[in-house]
Structure 1
Amino acid sequence: MALRLVEIYHPDTDEALEVPDDTYDVLGHWTYAIDDDQRVDRVLLEVEETESFLDWVDDTVVTEYRVVLQSVEATLPRPEVEAEEDDEDAEDDNEVSVARVGRAELYEYARDATDVSGYYYSLIALSVVVAAGGMLRDQTAVVIGAMVIAPLIGPNLALALGTTLGDPDLLGRSAWANLTGVGLALGGSLGLGAAMTVDPTTGELAVRTVIGLPDIALAAAAGAAGALAVTRGGATGLVGVMVAVALLPPVVATGLLFGAGHPGAALRAGLLTVTNVVSLNLAAVCTFLLLGVRPRDWRDVAQARTSTRIALALWGSALIVLALLLWRFA
């Protein structure tokens, strides 16, 4: 059972928060003044209840406040696992039933993932060099190593999250992170392709010029797995490798082949890249929706619904067009 410690700092003139026990399964609640002007309420909850609880705090605490959310590794004595409630209680509007981390944690992940710093660009550049070397030497293990380095999971999941929440700022930052990352990878591999001898029949290159339904399924599975990993608060390292499988090698193959003067093969690798991007983001958005990721404010909900519908229509239409192209030129 994943737990979160929610700390609510508010003016000491306020009374301690009266958390409704009939709505939230509070595992612990401590409150005390920390100085002459400030009070803190610490509430221990299961991770599934944090989003609804933070919404309740926002409605209840009318004065200025600050919330700090901490992951709890363990607590003693261990919380008892209660029996499942009956169906009537589970259908209560106030009952929290979403088995995922809260909206605040998802936003924090997306904020970190779209930080296009020198570190981000350095990892992209290094992963391109490693991937290009592995492809030119036809060494699969080296290409896998490049996918371990590439930080491509964060910007793509942030893009899908921004689409789901209808957040223009998050959409803009995640789109910029994706475009600059892919642009750097493509530009670097173009330069390497122009400077080195590239054999398009090499196994690791040739496989990126053949496109089929398994490639669409792979990218979709990567997007869904990434969204699941983030919403469960789990580690995304291994899932990030899977996302990089769908993105990094096709981009590098496209650049190498174009730079070496093989436009036909490069176009097929580029088509694979676009297909994977579309499939990955479409699957991630659908997964976020199925897990109940929504904005809080009703005005934001309406905006998010419009944004999601437009995105699903665009991603879906693009995927259909790409599938038709694959069928036509297969």
Structure 2
Amino acid sequence: MQTIVPVDRKHQLQSIIRGESFIESWDQTMGKNRYKLSLILPVQESEHLISRLEQRFSDTATFRIIIYPVEATIPIPNEPEANTNRGTAMEKQEKEGKGRISRDELYNDLVDSTRLSWVFVVLMIASTIVSTTGILRNSEAIIIGSMVIAPLLGPNVALSLATTLADFNLAKNALRVTFAGILISLFLSVLTGMILNIDPASPQIASRIQPNMGDIGLSLASGVAGALAFTTGVASALVGVMVAVALLPPLVTFGLLAGTGEWEIATGALLLLFINIICINLSGVVTFVIQGIKPSKGEEENKARSASLASILIWSILLILLMVSLYYSHINFDFL
């Protein structure tokens, strides 16, 4: 982590760093008016330090924090000794951040997924075509490929983070991208269903028009795994989450059946899509709250806490309504 401050305030920066748990540090005077301090520190130590630095130096024009991931250092460093002189509030904040990347790193990882770019549009078109091909050919391997390239998981996890931080601008962008992706995929799949002869008895279609309690449990567990994959920085785990709680195949299935006029059985695929979206967001918010992710400014914590509780309540109510809808629509409600 590199911190840049005015050179006349370097002693304040050094006083903040003194006593922190870091592995190594070095500094550099840049020109006549900037001072840079570089630290190698464990990932769980970064969030509370970033918050302290922001509070002290955010009023300066030259202040900046730059965070880099470290793949390895040679020789292998020893773990820094924990500082036992921190105040109670700092100790609590440190414990809350154990085992995850900082709030700021998480935010920057997810904010990119909420941008409606040409890359997102192309990925949605490509993944819809691949998913449609897999469903029509009854190929599980092709469908799994579409799950991996579909860019819908990121915006939904970003929506959970936005709720946890009460960041309504991020939430607005996440919703916009999610709806845009759904509309793109729905348009292409409905058009395909109108042109081609779709067999509702196809195994890949039939498996997605009968949601059950097992799908709810799977979606909740996968939503937790997705949130943890982002907060721990384990990007490789996201592939498994994308496959486990895929949003695209039920969406494409609904579009294909709607295009052929099979509205009654298409309802099952639509319910499965809603189940996945609701469970991802519900479990994501709960996971972020448990991990202690909250705004950097103390005055925003109450607003964020209220937003999180309201979100959990709303998603829970929607999930219950879906479960009731499953029961009364006579769709298979077995556990597996």
AA partner of residue 81 (structure 1): E
What residue number does 1:297 align with?
Answer: 297
SS in 2 for 1:275: helix
* Structure 2 contact 144–243 (Cα < 8 Å) conserved: no
How many equivalent pairs are there? 322
- Cα distance, 1:227–1:233 mapped onto 2, change above 3 Å: same
CA distance in 2, matches of 1:286, 1:89: 31
Superposition pairs of residues 140-219 of structure 1, within 5 angstroms:
140-219=140-219
CA distance in 2, matches of 1:241, 1:89: 43
Superposition pairs of residues 47-126 of structure 1, within 5 angstroms:
47-61=43-57, 62-64=59-61, 65-81=63-79, 92-95=88-91, 96-97=94-95, 98=97, 99-126=99-126
- Cα distance, 1:286–1:89 mapped onto 2, change above 3 Å: farther
AA partner of residue 167 (structure 2): D
- Cα distance, 1:219–1:246 mapped onto 2, change above 3 Å: farther
CA distance in 2, matches of 1:121, 1:32: 44
AA partner of residue 176 (structure 1): R
What residue number does 2:334 align with?
Answer: none
Superposition pairs of residues 311-322 of structure 1, within 5 angstroms:
311-322=311-322
* Structure 1 contact 164–307 (Cα < 8 Å) conserved: yes
1:152 CA displacement: 1.5
- Cα distance, 1:23–1:287 mapped onto 2, change above 3 Å: farther
Instruction: Structure 1: give runs of 5+ residues left out of the alignment.
Output: 1-5
What residue number does 2:39 align with?
Answer: 43
Does residue 9 of structure 1 match 2:4? yes
Normalised TM-score (structure 2): 0.90
Deviates more, 1:23-32 or 1:165-174: 23-32
CA distance in 2, matches of 1:19, 1:112: 35
AA partner of residue 113 (structure 2): A
SS in 2 for 1:13: helix
SS in 1 for 2:271: helix
| C-alpha RMSD over aligned residues | 2.0
1:179 CA displacement: 0.6
Deviates more, 1:70-79 or 1:14-23: 14-23
Superimposed CA distance per residue, residues 278-328 of structure 1 (whole angstroms, 9 cap, x where no aligned partner): 111101111111111111212211111121121111100000111111122
* Structure 2 contact 148–242 (Cα < 8 Å) conserved: yes
- Cα distance, 1:210–1:91 mapped onto 2, change above 3 Å: farther
Superimposed CA distance per residue, residues 120-176 of structure 1 (whole angstroms, 9 cap, x where no aligned partner): 111111111111111112111111111121112211110111011110100000011
AA partner of residue 242 (structure 2): V
What residue number does 1:238 align with?
Answer: 239
AA partner of residue 11 (structure 1): P
What residue number does 1:262 align with?
Answer: 262
CA distance in 1, matches of 2:286, 2:87: 24
CA distance in 2, matches of 1:83, 1:68: 24
CA distance in 1, matches of 2:85, 2:321: 46
What residue number does 2:29 align with?
Answer: 33
CA distance in 1, matches of 2:327, 2:255: 24
CA distance in 2, matches of 1:267, 1:246: 17
Superimposed CA distance per residue, residues 57-114 of structure 1 (whole angstroms, 9 cap, x where no aligned partner): 11233533011111111123322236889xx989943232222100110110121111
* Structure 1 contact 152–240 (Cα < 8 Å) conserved: no
* Structure 2 contact 29–35 (Cα < 8 Å) conserved: yes
CA distance in 2, matches of 1:40, 1:84: 24
* Structure 2 contact 127–146 (Cα < 8 Å) conserved: yes
* Structure 1 contact 162–168 (Cα < 8 Å) conserved: yes
CA distance in 2, matches of 1:104, 1:21: 19
- Cα distance, 1:66–1:89 mapped onto 2, change above 3 Å: closer
- Cα distance, 1:321–1:133 mapped onto 2, change above 3 Å: same
Instruction: Structure 2: give runs of 5+ residues left out of the alignment.
Output: 332-336
* Structure 2 contact 23–79 (Cα < 8 Å) conserved: no
